Chain A
């Protein structure tokens, strides 16, 4: 069986039937951050807690990355196989806007305000066959 590991521990709940992003919330002012951090970037408090910040959000802004980024970008792509991808900030119910790759039907442009759902999928495969799992967002299907 293929081994799968997250691109970074602590970004999302996984494996899980309904994965969620993980952030932190300040115990004093209540502001949220993604990824989680030990100190609050709003009030400077040193007391924060790791909390789920949701799996469905709305798009706040976006762009399309049309050229293959240089290092430190690490995917399985080559300049020949690279396909443009969406990037945006997604407003989460946990009270923070999270930057994420967007998976869009080919040729379709995102729209500010559209509903998006979190997906955790393989992003690249290491030489030993280990799949690196990464979060992204897809348009809500309903």
Chain B
């Protein structure tokens, strides 16, 4: 190895890992970018190799979060204390309110919210490394406790704990290390524009701008010279059911409002035309934020190598896609090919 990028939000300095693993003197840079930490770490490694500075490195992420929703401190996000004291600084509220408005504007119903979670826990039951491995019935999800209207208990991921690591090298030397390399065709990270609806916002402008997911997705497709129609298997940030639905359209995989029918028809299942979160996503794997974006990439590598076992997408998928979204309005997108 020549370098490392690492990230952890709540489990301490990622570089401290090296004290356990063995000291090497190599460059190790910590990344801290909210829920987009994993995606940002990978982006940094991609850039380091592309620049020619290095040709072999590791990206690592891990986390262990306290039980329940995140409880961020306003001062760490450039906000005054009153916003947190009054009970408005909760990620769960934001995703519920974004989903609520989206359902109103685009005719999405509760049925779609339930179907996303049903699929996630089914896929989790097929994934040995998933955190939640028990499939849940439609009725169990639809009648679970309301947490933040319209989102119920089994429609939210739990932060939980976990870790992931990826080894990257210059594509020219990849065959030295493996007979079946996966190519990182594009990695893009973008932040919010004025007018996009973001978490931790005491106010929103009246004008509406594209979400950072839209701009990151477009940038990644342009970089890879590919379009949504070329993607065989994908991972979309699903911290809750509503978010997966919104991200389907924000990433260009369908029109706003078409998700209702796609979900009803099973298009996003492992054997569907648009397989999403084949390992159960954040809903079944939790969201240890340092690791989560890397876990997505790992799952795409498993799928593109045909190692998915019971959850393998049929038809030898060749192009994969990953997407994360994090506070205070960041998105990271990766496109992977064989």
Q: Which residues of A contact B (CB under 8 A)?
A: 7-8, 11, 23, 31-35, 41-42, 60-67, 69-75, 85, 87-89, 91, 95-101, 109, 112, 123, 134
Tell me if B74 is interfacial: C-beta within 8 Å of chain A: yes
Q: How far is the CA of A11 from the CA of B79 in the complex (A)?
A: 13
- 24 residue pairs from A and B, CB less than 8 Å apart: A8-B81, A35-B80, A35-B203, A41-B205, A42-B205, A61-B97, A61-B101, A62-B100, A62-B149, A63-B149, A64-B146, A66-B146, A67-B68, A69-B69, A70-B69, A71-B71, A72-B85, A85-B87, A87-B87, A99-B203, A99-B204, A101-B88, A109-B149, A123-B86
**Cβ–Cβ contact B203 & A34, under 8 A:** yes
A-contact 0/1 string along B72-101, CB 8 Å cutoff: 011000001110111111100100111011
Interface contacts (Cβ under 8 Å), in number, total 114
List, in ascending order, chain B residues with CB within 8 A of A23's CB.
203
Give the complex CA separation of A63 and B99 in angstroms: 10
Are B204 and A72 in contact, with the CB atoms below 8 A?
Answer: no
Give the top 6 A-B pairs by smallest Cβ distance, nearest first. Answer: A72-B84, A63-B96, A34-B203, A61-B101, A70-B71, A74-B85
B148 touches A64 (CB 8 A): yes
Q: Which residues of B contact A (CB under 8 A)?
A: 68-69, 71, 73-74, 80-82, 84-90, 93, 96-98, 100-101, 104, 145-151, 194, 201-206
**Among the interface residues B86, B145, B146, B150, which one has the most CB atoms of the partner chain A within 10 A?**
B86
Q: Which of A11, A32, A65 has a CB less than 8 Å from the CB of B93?
A: A65
Q: A41-B194, A109-B149 are in contact. Are A91 and B206 (CB under 8 A)?
A: yes
Are B93 and A134 within 8 A (Cβ)? no
Cα distance A91–B153 in the bound complex, in angstroms = 29
Min CB–CB distance A26 → chain B (angstroms): 11
Contacts of A98 in B (CB 8 A): 202-203
Q: Apart from A34-B203, A65-B93, what 13 extra A-B contacts exist at CB < 8 Å? A: A11-B82, A32-B205, A61-B97, A67-B68, A69-B90, A72-B71, A75-B85, A89-B97, A89-B203, A96-B203, A96-B205, A101-B86, A112-B104
Complex Cα distance, B203 from A88, in Å, reads 10
Specify which chain A residues have a CB less than 8 angstroms from the CB of B146 in the assembled complex. 64, 66
CB neighbours (8 Å) of B71 from chain A are 69-73
Which one of A67, A72, A97, A134 lies within 8 Å of B81 (CB-CB)?
Answer: A72
Which one, A63, A67, A70, A71, contacts B97 given CB within 8 A? Answer: A63
B96 to A, closest residue via Cβ: A63
Q: Which residues of A contact B80 (CB under 8 A)?
A: 8, 35
Q: How far is the CA of A98 from the CA of B97 in the complex (A)?
A: 13
Taking A67-B147, A74-B85 as contacts, is the C-beta distance between A62 and B97 under 8 angstroms?
Answer: yes
Q: How far is the CA of A61 from the CA of B93 in the complex (A)?
A: 11
Task: Write out the residue numbers on chain A whose beta carbons fall within 8 Å of the beta carbon of B145.
Answer: 66
- Rounded to whole Å, the gap between the CB of B209 and the closest CB of chain A is 10
B74 and chain A: residue at smallest CB distance: A72
B203 and A70 within 8 A (CB):
no
Q: A31 touching B205 by the CB < 8 A rule?
A: yes
How far is B67's CA from A67's CA once the two chains are assembled, in angstroms? 13
When the two chains form their complex, are residues B90 and A65 in contact, meaning their CB atoms are under 8 A apart?
yes
* B98 close to A61 (CB less than 8 A): yes
Min distance, Cβ A15 to any Cβ of chain B, angstroms: 18
Q: Which of B85, B98, B148, B205 contacts A65 (CB 8 A)?
A: B148
